[in-house]
Amino acid sequence: MTKKKFDKQKILSILSSLGLIYIIFIVVSFFTMDKSNEIVVLDQPQSTITAPNNLAGASSPSPQARMKKGVKHKEMRDARFLAPDGTRTRWRDFQGNYLLVNIWATWCPPCVVELPSLTKLQEHYKGRGLEVIAISVDTQVSHDQLKAFLYDRKIGQFAAYMDDNMEIQARIKTRGLPTTYLLDPQGKVIHIFEGDADWFSPHATDFFTSLLNKEN
């Protein structure tokens, strides 16, 4: 009986010690963590765009696109993905222009809702130093089904890129969808935007126009 009581007290003592160690770890981590990746609001666009084909559960693009602070200018981890014409491409094939890369999926309502504004952005800056592509990370649809999905909603082929072999998902960690990366002409990530937005709002176009004007 004494031995059992001793073992019980010993176990409780060990558990208490582990709990204290965990609490200390959390406190130390909070004060020493790198806060360079805190998220700040980039803009607050007021959009009137509605969901294509009355997509269930979707609404107008919200003012939730936020730009990560303190993003280090590093090259995007190399990955191959499917282009609209079915050939394989990679980041370096786009070097020479700024590249806005939107990561999305057909099952993500906010992703689909913001595609019309990305279409307008892509058309507005075409040939002016900014390319816009959207890469689907769907795993349950074929490339042909993806293109049909876009065609039915009158979305351009810029969104028909596809991470069919999951290289992007394996090498680039995102905290959710949609997530959008802005690469400079050398292929380095200079901004990361999290959440959906009206990409053709005056605030957004002012941002990209100012960026491009710095190059001229």
pLDDT digit string, tens, across residues 113-161: 999 999 999 999 999 999 999 999 999 999 999 999 999 999 999 999 9
Whole-number pLDDT of residue 116: 96
- Distance, CA of 86 to CA of 64 (rounded, Å): 33
Run of H or E including 151: helix 143-152
Tokens (6 digits) for 134: 């959207």
DSSP 8-state code for residue 9: H
**What is the chain's Cα-based Rg?**
23
Q: What is the pTM of this model?
A: 0.71
Q: How far is CA 31 from the centre of its chain?
A: 27
Over 60: is that where the pLDDT of 35 sits? no
Given a cut of 50, whether residue 79 has pLDDT beyond it is: yes
Indicate if 207 and 158 belong to the same structural domain.
yes
Both 26 and 53 in a single domain?
Answer: no
Do 25 and 43 have their domain in common? Answer: no
CA–CA gap between residue 6 and residue 165 (Å, rounded):
57
- Are 18 and 64 members of one domain? no
Looking at the fold, whether 29 and 44 belong to one and the same domain comes out as no
Is cis: bond before 178, omega within 30 of 0? yes
pLDDT level of residue 15 (50, 70, 90 thresholds): low
**What digits encode the pLDDT tens for the residues 160-210?**
999 999 999 998 888 899 999 999 999 999 999 999 999 999 999 999 999
* Count of beta carbons in the 10 Å neighbourhood of residue 49: 19
Are both 21 and 97 inside the same structural domain? Answer: no
Query: pLDDT tier at 73 (50, 70, 90 boundaries)?
Result: low
Per-residue pLDDT at 68: 62
**50 and 142 co-located in one domain:** yes
What's the chain's average pLDDT? 78
Please classify residue 186 by burial: count the beta carbons closer than 10 Å to its beta carbon, then call 0-12 exposed, 13-18 middle and 19+ buried. exposed
Count, residues in the chain? 216
Q: Are 135 and 163 in contact (CB under 8 A)?
A: yes
